[in-house]
Amino acid sequence: MLECGEITRDYGKRQEAVEIEQAGDFENFLKRLKEEWEAKQKSVEAKFLELSDFSDQLSTVLDEPKKKKRKAKKSRSVEHQQQDPFSSYAAQLQVEFFKKVCCDWRDIALTIRDRVFEDDEEQLIDIHDVKCIKSGVSS
């Protein structure tokens, strides 16, 4: 959307392609959103690389002969969690994104319920439409 420089604006009965206003609220929103996702992508990638190094070190340690011990159920779950840091991090990301989507849905619902956009607030309507699209809510 940002790269092509236009958005399809839906007026309910008709749609039209509209150019994104340079340095407008909508363009700034799209840039900020893109920067946030790029930063998150870099953060996740760095964490996975860190976990990969940790996993390599852990597999070397686990390849050593094991001593016979009785283990309680609690220690098994802790050991399993230590052996698979990728699944723990993936679960952490899943919970984080789930919370984000729920907060976005709440904001969208409040906007739909409480906000009446004026005719000159087309950029704010476009921002709301993008929020709906990225959160899976049809506007």
- Name the least confident of 40-54, 62-76, 87-101, 105-119: 62-76
Cα distances (Å, whole numbers) of residue 69 to 66, 72, 84 = 9, 10, 21
Domain range list for the chain: 6-63+75-134
Alpha-helical segments (H) within the chain: 25-62, 73-83, 85-114, 122-134
Mean predicted confidence (pLDDT) in 55-67: 59
Highest mean pLDDT (candidates 11-15, 40-44, 116-120, 133-137): 40-44
pLDDT at 79 over 70: no
On the question of pLDDT at 29 being above 80, the answer is yes
pLDDT (average), residues 84-111: 89
